[in-house]
Amino acid sequence: MIQKIIKCTLLAVLLCSLIACEGQGQDQQIEYFKLQDVTLLDSPFKRAQELNKKYLLEMDADRLLAPFLREAGLPPKAESYTNWENTGLDGHIGGHYLSGLSLMYASTGDEAIKERLDYMLEELERCQAAHGNGYIGGVPDGKALWEDIAAGDIRGGGFDLNGKWVPLYNIHKTYAGLRDAYLVAGIDQAKEMLVKMADWAIWLVEDLSEEQMQLMLRSEHGGLNETFADVAAITGDEKYLELAKKFSHHHVLNPLLDGRDELTGMHANTQIPKVLGFKRIADVEPNASWDGAAQFFWQTVVENRSVSLGGNSVSEHFNPVDDFSRMITSIEGTETCNTYNMLRLSKMLYQTSYDKKYMDFYERALYNHILSTQHPQTGGFVYFTSMRPGHYRVYSQPHTSMWCCVGSGMESHSKYGEMIYAHTKNELYVNLFIPSQLQWKEQGTEIVQENNFPYEPSTRIMVNPTKAKKFTLLLREPNWVSEEGVTVRINGEVYPLEKRDGYIAIERKWERGDLLEMEMPMLLRAEQLPDESNYYSFVYGPVVLAAKTNADDVTGLFADDGRWAHVAHGQQVPLEEMPTIVGEPGELTSFLSPVDGKPLTFRITHLQPEKYAEGLELIPFFELHGSRYIIYWPQATE
Ligand SMILES: [Zn+2]
């Protein structure tokens, strides 16, 4: 018993060192700011956040809650939503909704969002009480399913578990939602509910052998291992860490531990959340080899398996690293959830490595994939972003579309403030150039970043300590800057650059009103597909460029509640009718010329067939909506 207590105390100390333990004097531990400390200022991100708030409030909480009430034996107050919400995945959006509301409340302090979140939690708490065993969930006939599982009757795999549609994946969303309501929105009631629900999971698997566990984990299960490691960190109780490890899928973990990429053919968004769990366990335990597995996974997915906008997968599966042909032909290209999860992984890896490469990727995928997947008028979310030249994307609607990417989208557009800044005790990292106001409470300092980035390649940062303060400001030197390089001015004077690990370090005693300006001239590049086939995408600075072709037959642009309405089923334009760039790979960027008066806009020429002789206009992909488009261009020589 004493030994156990000592062990638990040790664990608590360790956990404390890994989670933000303010006031502990840990000089070098990198910390993120709470969303509450960062206020977005006017920019495309702020507009996306506001639009997402409307979308969240437009959704009907009672319809989202209906499956949970039904399964708890309580009368639902409204009919369930349709689409994926009444065909087996009942309740998954309700879980995401908790996360989305929590993030939005933390980012904006909006009272209507808080009321909605409180209401969701109250209703779910009633469900938990009615079940009486800690469980909360909308999985149809869940009670019988879980009893079978607990008894070792485990069948299926992939998207099936005992004849149900990914029930473990489904309940993971509720776990994550409760975690976010506690850790992000600060609601204690959610912590109690989360811990009770984690105790239910201990009951669920306590009699299962390792073989039975691994059999069960063949079925998609989101990041259950991550949330259980979170519960370990929250409670300081080692039993949840054991649970997290028990929920870790060896079939995916083992090759990663050996540095082997065996991902081809695997369902991509089933695997990424498992790796989030490996990484979280690695941080909480701590465990260097599991950390290495997560780093290897990130590296191989980002470097070998991702297209220019930061996304991956074809029809939700990892394509062969040496064959991206289906990426070009398929109408089911990169899935948004995958990138949502790769950004979460980048965040976790950056925190323990300080490696700037994670931020370079984060920025690329944030501007070009995540931001681009929200319709700028309706706030609808995109599922597949096809790389097929001349194809298009479709958008969700609040009362018809209940896809996974709606769930993760409600979260993504609610947390744009999460990675702009980071800090150690007396260093402030500026990682993203998103206009924002930061309260760095520990240093009594306010930071105001304003710009018209990326439309103008510069940013201005005002440093406002309450009284003069000495600390180091570290500006990320982006990986897309042209040969001219970065220029920094402080109060109008050019500042001699001191570089440190990809950052520009400025150590000084800051006075209220100090103004820092950074110029970041952008480089134009042609990026080839990772398989080195003759397809190129143009990237200016961090911005992926694309051409609008036309809006002919964009069937289902705003999705109804059909089972496959998330796929853009309109006509596929034959690829031979699409333009080819004619020239040598090394000269492609010379075929682009800036369009006067339109920032981030270029005209591309040297196109065939003849009807494209006048060229096409390239704009930022994140601005391109409701139209067919080209991101990747086939290249050929005369
Ligand atoms: Zn998805």
- Name which residue leads in pLDDT, 6 or 216: 216
Q: What is the DSSP letter of 522?
A: B
Cα distance between residue 316 and residue 67, in whole Å:
27
- 188 pLDDT band, cuts 50/70/90, is very high
Q: What is the pLDDT of residues 145-176, one digit of tens each?
A: 999 999 999 998 899 999 999 999 999 999 99
Q: How far apart are the CA of 404 and the centre of ligand 1, in A?
A: 4
Whole-number percent of the chain with pLDDT over 70: 96
Q: What is the pLDDT of residues 256-281, one digit of tens each?
A: 999 999 999 999 999 999 999 999 99
pLDDT, position 546 = 98
Kindly state the tokens that stand for 350.
């950056």
DSSP letter string, 488-502: EEETTEE----EETT
334 near 530, Cβ under 8 Å? no
CA dihedral 311, 317, 322, 325 (to 10 degrees): -80
Average pLDDT, the chain: 95
Q: What is the DSSP letter of 381?
A: B
Where are the alpha helices (H) located in 354-458, listed in sequence order? 357-365, 404-412
Above 80 in pLDDT, residue 8? Answer: no
pLDDT, position 15 = 46
CA 27 distance to own-chain centroid: 28
Q: How far apart are the CA of 412 and the centre of ligand 1, in A?
A: 12
Q: How far apart are the CA of 318 and the centre of ligand 1, in A?
A: 14
Q: How far apart are the CA of 307 and the centre of ligand 1, in A?
A: 17
436 near 449, Cβ under 8 Å? yes
pLDDT, position 182 = 98
Above 50 in pLDDT, residue 283? Answer: yes
- Contacts for 496 with CB less than 8 Å, ≥ 6 apart: none
Q: What is the pLDDT of residues 528-561, one digit of tens each?
A: 999 999 999 999 999 999 999 999 999 999 999 9
Q: How far apart are the CA of 425 and the centre of ligand 1, in A?
A: 37
Q: What is the DSSP letter of 543?
A: E
CA 162 distance to own-chain centroid: 30
pLDDT, position 337 = 98
CA distances from 203 to 1, 147, 199, 228 (A): 22, 10, 6, 14
CB atoms within 10 A of CB 615: 17
Q: Is 325 exposed, middle or buried (0-12, 13-18, 19+ CB in 10 A)?
A: middle
Q: How far apart are the CA of 313 and the centre of ligand 1, in A?
A: 11
Above 80 in pLDDT, residue 9? Answer: no
Above 80 in pLDDT, residue 19? Answer: no
- 18 pLDDT band, cuts 50/70/90, is very low
Kindly state the tokens that stand for 233.
């960190």
Q: How far apart are the CA of 173 and the centre of ligand 1, in A?
A: 13
Strands 164-165, 592-594: pairing kind: unpaired
pLDDT, position 157 = 86
pLDDT, position 25 = 34
Q: How far apart are the CA of 403 and the centre of ligand 1, in A?
A: 7
Q: How far apart are the CA of 338 and the centre of ligand 1, in A?
A: 7
Q: How far apart are the CA of 303 and the centre of ligand 1, in A?
A: 21
Q: What is the pLDDT of residues 91-145, one digit of tens each?
A: 999 999 999 999 999 999 999 999 999 999 999 999 999 999 999 999 999 999 9
pLDDT, position 210 = 98
538 near 592, Cβ under 8 Å? yes
Q: How far apart are the CA of 469 and the centre of ligand 1, in A?
A: 45
Q: What is the pLDDT of residues 424-460, one digit of tens each?
A: 999 999 999 999 999 999 999 999 999 999 999 999 9
pLDDT, position 29 = 86
Q: How far apart are the CA of 363 and the centre of ligand 1, in A?
A: 20
